[in-house]
Every structure is written in structure tokens, then in C-alpha cells.
Structure 1
């Protein structure tokens, strides 16, 4: 098969790495790709949100199957356009991708389907949002309704802070049009986890769980980011809890979206908060749904996957998930994100990264590229905020952590930084 992966980050590098191993594969492209992806796929210089350009490329190259990585082309309707052109694709249509494209729509779906989630309100008027905040009290969460590159969620510890957040999002347009509407919701205090399932529109198959680290610095300090590292399995997600998440969170949404005339085909990524329930029994609540693989969660999932990823994604796109039974390595995987100094704020681009070959020689380590380019003279340059995902696969979380940081220490990039405590929750649990 001729396959195109859309995107140019760490998630897409991990997807290309896994797809490249499939016996079904004939040729693999990635658009736009990056320096690391170029080692396993041919990179096409087409932006991930250039829907016309991507559809045209597929027609010219005779692409059989497209795997869409990021959320923006999904919300823009890339899958709809590909299907109209007779090209198979893995990912939701624009109507189904609204689960991620609009937090308000997503919360309404959860409410209608009876999925456990935080109490909330939707607002297009700043004063009405502030009145709701004063009624609810703090801490409280303010979310821009639309896509905001993972930065549109503000956790506010006081009513005054929340009212300032409303002004920033709705009046000052800190996130542009994504903040025209906001969702204000109850603050849930528990342990976060990420849960993934693949859906073919009528049924879903669970993947393995993961936990990520959103704060920029050790000890979960500093600003929220798109993710500074992750690991799988997540000890908090026991087999019993994973079964409950499928029963109470995933399956109702798959049925509900189909009933709405928006059948969801693709990856359902549930951001969960695990709360203490009666008699100490954990209770999962959905914080958000995303319509694609997480980044950096995808990196650890692909390291643990034993099955043929391309075959599974193709089956989902064709409504054949009943034929799929995924196999996973029992071992652990852990990913340390290396980011440019200053991230998630302003950061320098174009700094040189050395030592990648040495890092890749560490046992069971793969260095996934998230924001890199190769200069004409062959040097690898940093082009993004999150730049590398140093990912290790080992018997236990602590072994994977040791291997990942061994590789990190071989990378010579003075202008970068990383957290040194990825995996601490799992290790603390023993």
C-alpha cells in the first residue's frame, strides 16, 4: 500500500516508525514531516492544514490510505475531502472531530450520553461567565471552546483569577477566535490519566493507558505545556478501571455520536481524572476528549504495540474492528520530552542538536523527533518548542526511566531542557 501520514511532530514520527514495519506497506510519505521522520518516510513539503494540497498530492501519487495525525486538519474536514475523492483515511470527519474542535459540544455530548464529567456551563457573554464563576466558587477551570494548541485551559485558584481569565480569553482574545465561547467547569482534584481507543463508527477497541506530565518543571511545577513526558502502563489504570472506562466513557460516546449522525472513526483519546470514590474505589471522570493520538503518549504506545498498526487502522477505517485483536508488550515504555529553553513561552529556533546517534545506541531507545529540520550541511536543528521525545522500552518503569535518561545525557544541546522526574508517580507506587 501507498500510505501518507499527515503531520510533522513526535506523534507522527512514532506513527511512521510503527507503520514502516508493516508487511502491508509499499511506500510511506509524511507531510510535512521532520528530520527524524525523513529516516523512515519520504517527506512531502505540504503543511498539515493545507487540505487542498494534501488531497492533490494523494491524487498525483496514487496514495491508497491516509493517517491524519493532528487535530487541525481533522476539524478542517480533510477526511471528508479524501473520502469524496475515493481515498481511504483514518480519522474522524469534520462533524465527528467537533468532539475536539469544540469543548462545549464535547461537554454536551458527555452530558447527553450520561458520561461522568465535571459540572459545567457554556458562555458567549463574558459577564454571564463571570456570574457563573461567582456562583460556583473556586478553584474553577476556564477553557477556550475552540482549538488553542493545547494552551486554552486555565486552572484558576480564586474567583478573581477566573474573572481575569475570562477577560483574557473572551475580551483580549488571548487564543484568538478559539475564545469566542468558553466552557467554565468544576475543578476536579485527583490523578490524571490518558486512555485511548480506536473506533470504526459503531464499536471501539481499547488501547493501553498512559500518564503524562503537563507541567514544565520537576515536581509538577511551572506552566502547563503540551506534555513534557509520559509512560505506559499507568498503574492507576488497573484492568478493572480500564474496563469501567470503556463501559462508562468510551462506548456511550461511540453510540451517541452514531445516533447523532456523526459516527466517529479514528482515535478517541479520553483525558481522565481518577477520583477517590466510595470505600476507596477509584471513579473515572472525563476531563476532555481528543480526536487523535496524544503527543507524547503516542510514542510510548507505539513502543509497546506488538500488532501491525497499519492493519488495525485500515480495519477501523473500513468498519472491520471486529476482526482486530491488538497485542501489547507487557513491558513498560517511558518518553522524556526535550524542549527548547523558554518553552512554553518564547524560545529560540535554529539551535544545533548533537549526539543523537549516540543516544539512539542505548538499548531499546528510540529518539522521536517533534520539531527538527536538517540543514544543508547535515546538521540537525531545533525548529519547535517540544523538539525530541527520547523513548525507552524496558521491563519496568524504573528501568525505562534509567535508559531514557542515559540517552538524554548523551544528547548535546545546551539550548534545550527536560524534566528529570518523568515516571515519578509510577515509581512512587512501587
Structure 2
């Protein structure tokens, strides 16, 4: 058994992984920086209020994100700790930058021979508007800087002449001009959106690769405001064509960096090629909860081996998995009054004894009673797995039906895109199956 120190240097994200490792019998301490989130995980995971004081105690230090408050920075801390001889799951300053600076991310991809979508960075709204007028096409607007985490600002254009993108840029100039230090315009590509996620041990990728499909809009049918994520469907496979054409080409660069952990590249794929859109050089949420659900060997041993540069033994469920985020008002918006009236400390009631497939997000336990914690309105992720995506959906939503929280809501269509054609299209284009 090993000592694990989990660090959330901004909001609490890694509670579920800490809980899983703790339940496996490892010694765990969890640190949360954000004052609004310090109660998250209470009753589930042992806590510490000074993570630096625990570094020498820890056999493995795990950082959950790239953010230290409102700045990127866990990569720098992880790099410093590694130089001092600590085993760390975390990034480096350069891998942090992959997420924060979209232009840099595209440069790294191009330098390593990875195909990219046509994209342009603008620091001036009028220059962006002029570019769309001179080059009419559908574009995706991706904000840069501190506002890139305001997910609803990402806009996917629909008009062939780009007129809707021009209107949105005009509106953003008025409303966000003072806070948006720039934005990327990316040519919109039609196809199947798939995220390719590898686990890196400082030297190389492990053999198993995770393929996941995000559902970011609030409402079923993929409509409504952007959220961080409403649910995910996934499966594991070997290092196939999708992997080799993307993350596989970055293996040497990541080894030079000494990166350790999960790294994900979201792509649009069609019959003509694979087009990377953006990196997640850290755990994804709720992706990691769903990955845990599908890991059938020890999660703690896996991350211990990963952090120590070993070749981890990883056994995974070989069918399909889905995860559904259960949310409360006013998610995905910030409105303290609404949260206080509808969601703060809301009781989480289960109608059956089993907690299989129930994963923590913003939850605490007081005297045996599960309650919503924090201020984000994301108490749980519920997962299911099966030999088909349909079976995984059936198990997950069966579990959702047993949860009672006043005012809860969720998307009831996670995984349907796969069944409705995404799986067939990826197969037909030669990205999946035995020859891929």
C-alpha cells in the first residue's frame, strides 16, 4: 500500500479518484485550495490543509488540473517536485500551455507532423470580422485567456458565409472585449468528434488507449448552452490509427518534457482525415470517473506505477461505458441566490443499497447522509457499462432512476450519437476494427 497526496490548487475536481484509491486501502490525503469547495469530499476522503507539508509523506503526488487559482501553474510545481525526487502525476509548464494557448498547441502538432485544421489567432475583434468577410465559411470561435473556461462563449458557426460568426464577434466585442485577450477562429469541419486519451508514464504511452465522446450542451439533442460536460461515452482499444496519427506522434516530445498522467486530444474525424481541435493535458472531468469505472485492476497501483515510470498492468472492461453528470440549479450558470434556495446541502437519497456506478463530484457525507457540497451544482456522475453502447446506457440510466435529489436534471441521450451512426461512420472510414 502507498501514500497518495491529491492536490486541487483551484476548485475541487479529483475527489472521486481520491475516494477510489482510499477505498482500495491506500493512505490518502486530499488538499483543496478554493474556499468555496473545502467541504467537498468530507466524510469520504481524509483531508489536509497544507499540501506542501505532506509532500515528503507521499509516495505519489497527484495534481488534478493545470490551474493554480486563476493562473496556470501546476506543471511548474510538478516539474520542481520531480527534480527533487518525488513521483508526481502532473504536467510541465509546456504541457500546461497546450491547453491555455491554442496557437502554441497547433504549432506543436504541426512541428510533429500532425494534420491540423486551418486556424487563425486574433487579438482584435475587427480583424477577426474582416477575416471572415474576406474568407466566408463556417468557423468556430474559441476564446483565449481567462475567459476560455467560460464554456458558453465557444461558438460553432452554422452559416456558409460566416454571417452568424460576424454577428457573434460583434456581440462579444461589446460584452467581453475588456476580458477576452483574443480568440481563435477555426474552420469548421464536419464529421465525428472523438477524443483520444492516452496515459503517459514519463517515457512512453501505455498500450491501452481510451476513446471518448463528449456531450457538452446542456440539453438532450445537443442544444442549449455549453457546459463543461454533461456526460461521456467511451471504450478502450489498442494503439490504432487514430492514436498513431495524433498522440503517438507526440511521444518523444512528451518524454522530453517528462509528462506523467492522462493527456487527451479532441478531434473531428471524417473520410478525408483526422483534425485535432484541442488538448486536455490533465484528467478530464467526468472522464476520469468513467475511466475508473472501466479499470478492472487496481486504480491506485496503476497511478503508482505511472508516476514511478513503470509499465503499469492495466486491465480494462472491453465493451462500452457511459457516464451521466447529475446536476442541480443553476448549473451551468453562477447564481448564488438560486443555488442557496434550490441546491445547497441538498440531500442525496438512494433507493437501493448498492453504490455501484455512483461517482463523487461535489458531494460530502455528514452522519452517513450524502449531501450536495460546494457551489457548482454537480453532485454526482453515474456510470454504466456493457458489451454494447445500448447495454451501457441501460445500466447507467437504471442507476440514475434510483437517485432522488430535489430539482436534479441530466441528459438522457448520452451514448445515443454512437448508436445513431457515429460508430458505423468511424468503422466505414477505417479508423476502428481489426485493420485500424
Range into which the TM-score falls when normalised by the shorter chain:
0.7 to 0.9
**Residue 201 and residue 86 in structure 1: after superposition, are their counterparts in 2 closer, same or farther (change >3 A)?**
closer
Q: Which runs of 5+ in 2 are unaligned?
A: 424-436
Q: What is the correspondence of 1:351-430 to structure 2 with a 5 Å cutoff?
A: 351=343, 352-358=345-351, 361=354, 365-374=356-365, 380-382=371-373, 383-428=375-420
Aligned partner of residue 55 in structure 2, secondary structure: helix
Contact 2:196 2:243 in 1 (8 A): no
Give the corresponding residue for 1:318: 308
Give the corresponding residue for 1:162: 165
The reply to whether residue 212 of structure 1 matches residue 214 of structure 2 is yes
Cα deviation digits, residues 129-161 of structure 1 (max 9, x gap) = 222222332320111223532615221334343
Cα deviation digits, residues 182-234 of structure 1 (max 9, x gap) = 21111111111222111234422243212221111111111121111112228
**Residue 377 and residue 199 in structure 1: after superposition, are their counterparts in 2 closer, same or farther (change >3 A)?**
closer
Q: Aligned partners of 2:386, 2:199: CA distance in 1, in Å?
A: 25
**Offset at 1:413?**
2.0
Give TM-score scaled by structure 2 length.
0.81
Contact 2:191 2:270 in 1 (8 A): yes
**Offset at 1:17?**
3.9
**Residue 100 and residue 378 in structure 1: after superposition, are their counterparts in 2 closer, same or farther (change >3 A)?**
same
Q: Aligned partners of 1:64, 1:295: CA distance in 2, in Å?
A: 24
Contact 2:88 2:260 in 1 (8 A): no
**Residue 373 and residue 3 in structure 1: after superposition, are their counterparts in 2 closer, same or farther (change >3 A)?**
same
Contact 2:40 2:362 in 1 (8 A): no
Q: Aligned partners of 2:176, 2:48: CA distance in 1, in Å?
A: 34
Cα deviation digits, residues 1-44 of structure 1 (max 9, x gap) = 22112239896233224423556x3x112222777744542133
Q: Aligned partners of 1:390, 1:305: CA distance in 2, in Å?
A: 15
Q: Aligned partners of 1:196, 1:245: CA distance in 2, in Å?
A: 10
Contact 2:41 2:364 in 1 (8 A): no
Q: Which runs of 5+ in 1 are unaligned?
A: 46-52, 278-282
Cα deviation digits, residues 361-405 of structure 1 (max 9, x gap) = 26xx33222223456895613531333111223443323322322
Q: What is the correspondence of 1:15-414 to structure 2 with a 5 Å cutoff?
A: 15-20=17-22, 22=24, 25=26, 27-32=27-32, 37-38=41-42, 40-45=44-49, 53-59=50-56, 62-73=57-68, 75-76=72-73, 77-83=76-82, 86-146=85-145, 148-149=148-149, 151=151, 152-158=153-159, 159-167=162-170, 172-173=175-176, 176=179, 179-205=180-206, 206-233=208-235, 243-257=240-254, 262-277=257-272, 283-320=273-310, 323-347=311-335, 348-350=338-340, 351=343, 352-358=345-351, 361=354, 365-374=356-365, 380-382=371-373, 383-414=375-406
Aligned partner of residue 398 in structure 1, secondary structure: helix
Aligned partner of residue 219 in structure 1, secondary structure: coil
Contact 1:109 1:256 in 2 (8 A): no
Q: Aligned partners of 1:406, 1:354: CA distance in 2, in Å?
A: 20
**Offset at 1:94?**
1.9
**Residue 40 and residue 413 in structure 1: after superposition, are their counterparts in 2 closer, same or farther (change >3 A)?**
closer
Aligned partner of residue 231 in structure 1, secondary structure: strand
**Residue 373 and residue 166 in structure 1: after superposition, are their counterparts in 2 closer, same or farther (change >3 A)?**
farther
**Residue 374 and residue 39 in structure 1: after superposition, are their counterparts in 2 closer, same or farther (change >3 A)?**
closer
Structure 1 runs (4+) deviating above 6 angstroms are 33-36
Q: Aligned partners of 1:398, 1:104: CA distance in 2, in Å?
A: 38
Aligned partner of residue 253 in structure 1, secondary structure: helix
Give the corresponding residue for 2:430: none
Contact 1:10 1:296 in 2 (8 A): no
**Residue 19 and residue 202 in structure 1: after superposition, are their counterparts in 2 closer, same or farther (change >3 A)?**
same
Give TM-score scaled by structure 1 length.
0.82
Q: Aligned partners of 1:324, 1:157: CA distance in 2, in Å?
A: 44
**Offset at 1:417?**
0.8
Q: Aligned partners of 2:246, 2:178: CA distance in 1, in Å?
A: 29
Q: Aligned partners of 1:417, 1:226: CA distance in 2, in Å?
A: 15
**Aligned residue pairs, count:** 401
